[in-house]
A and B are shown apart, each in its own frame.
Chain A
C-alpha cells in the first residue's frame, strides 16, 4: 500500500561529520513534505519543509532534497552536533490541508 518509510532505522555519525537521513514515499501525488525532529520524551519539532515543485531547500545547517523521479526525500545535517541526536521523521501530505502520513523514524546518534 501507499506509505512513507525510512531506509535506516538507526544512524550513527561522528561529531562534526555530515548526516544524511533518507525517506522513501510511494505516492507520486504527494505534494508537501516535512521533516520533524523528536528528542526523547518530547513531541516532534518542525525542522524544514519542501513542496513538490522544488528539488532542494536549505535551512540553518539542514538541507532537504526531493527526488520525485524515484520518490525519495533526504535530510542532510551539516557538522552534526550532539544536540542533533534524536529521532527524525519524514511526513507527507497528499491533499492540501488534509492529514499527514508519518514514517517510522530514524534514530540519529552522534558519537563524540
Chain B
C-alpha cells in the first residue's frame, strides 16, 4: 500500500544535540512538508519542498534544517539552536495539481528533550 512513513515514533534528545527525523513516501507526491504540533495548538509549518533539491522555510524554521535529495525522502534535523524542541512532529505529502491536493500525513514522531 502507498503511504508516508515517519521514524522513529519516539525520540529523545539531549541538550545541545542534533537529531534527525525521517520521512519517506511512496505516493509519488511532488510536495512534502514538516509540521510541528504542540498541545492545544494547531499545526505550524516548519519547512516544505515542492521539488527535489529545493525547499522553503515555513513559519517556524529557526533551529531546523531539511534536505530533499530524493523525491521520496524529506528528513528534518532539529538542531541545538532550537531551544524548545519538545513537540510532536508531522510529515505530510501532496500532489501539486489536480482536483484533490490535500495532505497525506505520516503517523508522527514525538521528540522529547531529556
Contact = CB atoms under 8 A, between A and B. Distances in A.
Contacts of B41: 104
Given A9-B40, A44-B103, A99-B45, 10 more contacts: A4-B42, A34-B103, A41-B108, A43-B92, A43-B106, A44-B105, A49-B100, A100-B102, A102-B35, A104-B42
B3 to A, nearest CB: 10
B75 to A, nearest CB: 17
Interface in B98-114: 100-108, 110
12 contacts: A34-B103, A41-B110, A42-B107, A43-B90, A49-B102, A89-B43, A91-B102, A97-B97, A99-B45, A102-B35, A102-B42, A103-B42
Interface string B43-62: 10100100000000010000
Contacts of B97: 97
A44 B96 contact: no
Interface string A1-20: 00010000100000000000
Given A49-B100, A97-B96, A97-B97, A89 B42 contact: yes
B33 interface: yes
Interface in B59-114: 90, 92, 96-97, 100-108, 110
Contacts, number: 51
A94 B100 CA distance: 14
A9 B42 CA distance: 11
A101 to B, nearest CB: 8
B82 to A, nearest CB: 21
Contacts of B107: 41-43
B102 A46 contact: yes
Q: Which of B35, B42, B104, B105 counts the most A-chain CB atoms under 10 A from its CB?
A: B42
Contacts of A105: 42
Contact of B90 (A34, A44, A100): A44
